Chain A
Amino acid sequence: MSFDWLSPAEREGFLGFMEERFGIAPERFSGFRLFRRGEYVNAVSLAAAEAAELFEGMDAGVPVAKTTHSGFHKPSTRGVQTFGEGATRNVVDLSAGELKALVEGRMVQAPELKGFVVLRHKGAPVGVGLAREGRLTSQLPRSMTEHLVIFEDN
């Protein structure tokens, strides 16, 4: 499979979205090439991208975001965990109790926020949440949460 690399204009548009929505500086992605795989935009290091020109790669790097039909980007869990440490906007800092509630499928209060947000716990980006009507729901994948045990003193 050859990789569908983003054109400079597509890259600029994508990084512009990440900066505008989450405050992640475009420079955070300066050591990476971006490519489209299905609905996702993935980031791969420049060195691995060079290797991808030589071999038939079936996967590489980390998915950063999913592009919806409307052209809006929804960050991926693994993308947020990898690149989300620099997020400054639309970030929710969760207590262990709040994170536990989200993992268990319950909602937590999130006034003043709307849309996809970066979930952070003890300074580490955990994944993505969706805020609407003052409430926050988890967008963490079931594969991550089904066996996850959160301790209140985690």
Chain B
Amino acid sequence: MANPARYFDRYREVIPDFPGFLEALRNDPAVHVRVNPARSTVAEVCAALLPLGLTATPESWMEELLRVEGKVVRKLGSTLAHALGHYYIQSASSAVSALALGALEGEAVVDLCAAPGSKTTMIAARVGEAGFVVANEPSPKRVTPLVANLRRLGLTNVLVTTYNGQHFPLQREFDRVLVDAPCSGEGTWLGREARPRAMSDGQREALSMRQRAILERAACLLKPGGEMVYSTCTYAPEENELVVADAVERHGLEPLELGIALDCAPGFTEWEGRALPKSLSRCARLYPHRFDSEGFFVVRLAKPR
């Protein structure tokens, strides 16, 4: 990415090792695939990638997530193993968000912003046939790839809905809720194909209001004692800690430690003079110079019983 400081200068004082961060933005992020346990194994996927000259290595914090290295990682979507749903091409950051949700066998989960399905498919594999996932995606053009991915991976335990997340019907409570919110996407501005776009204050405010509304609905959908994850692929505190702070203060949600051994930075407890709940330090900020993947923000939130 050319001249990244132009877009990220406002984070100069808050992102640790800011020069290292800027340097990392110039590089393409590491490529990962997640093994679909219903169709394959780690060993089989590693073997399937060998003819392409690709080596796949499990991540220490998630065995079924393989870091893929080699000259032709772009061919990962052209293999028979991919066509048969043996793996899903997924960024490590995205996997962190779904892993942090901690879904268990037999649970009911709603993913309020599901397309293209990277997290939904991972959660559906974890809850199994005894549980189910409602994969909600309001954008019609994004539903098509979501459905295609669900079918490719052979997931029969997912219901696809198309509500606006903030208006998702309160028909039942869920064991877990995932809000991977629509965001400004700053964390994806990496490498040669980065397409950064500046955002006006008004656009940021509108996005932030939408995120708040979705998170508020998520809190209502979560059963007492349940857990949810709020995540974005942006660094902007207006879309992250400030959104979560409102949910913590209004719904009594409690931020929890991520529970995954990663090199991440804590969430902000102050921004532009506004003091935020100290518990927001349990939020996780993933930066590409410390965690070789897209920039991400993830927080686990518990609803009191």
Contact = CB atoms under 8 A, between A and B. Distances in A.
A148 B75 CA distance: 9
Contact of B130 (A47, A52, A124, A143): A47
B160 A32 contact: no
Nearest to B79: A149
A22 B84 CA distance: 20
B48 interface: yes
A126 B161 contact: no
Interface stretch (A6-14, A56-64, A66-74): A56-64
B77 interface: yes
A150 B48 CA distance: 11
A154 B51 contact: yes
Identify the interface centre among A55, A62, A143: most chain B CB within 10 Å of its CB.
A55
Nearest to B151: A78
A88 interface: no
Nearest to B80: A154
11 contacts: A50-B132, A58-B160, A58-B161, A58-B162, A81-B154, A121-B80, A147-B77, A148-B79, A149-B75, A153-B51, A154-B51
Contacts of A154: 48, 51, 80
Contact of A48 (B48, B147, B158, B163): B158
B6 interface: no
Contacts of B133: 48
B123 interface: no
Consensus secondary structure, chain B interface: mixed
A154 B84 CA distance: 13
* B interface bracket (residues with beta carbon within 8 Å of A): 35 or more
Contacts of B26: none
Nearest to B51: A151
Interface string A116-154: 000001001010000000000000000110011111011
A61 B84 contact: no
Contacts of A151: 51
B78 interface: yes
A46 B157 CA distance: 8
A65 to B, nearest CB: 14
B288 interface: no
B58 interface: no
B147 A59 contact: yes
Query: Taking each of B132, B155, B169, which has the highest tally of chain A beta carbons within 10 Å of its own beta carbon?
Result: B132
Given A48-B156, A59-B147, A147-B77, A124 B84 contact: yes
Interface string B134-169: 100000000100011011101111111111000001
A46 B128 CA distance: 11
Interface string B233-277: 000000000000000000000000000000000000000000000
Ranked nearest first, the 4 interchain pairs of A and B with the lowest CB-CB distance are A82-B154, A48-B132, A47-B132, A45-B157
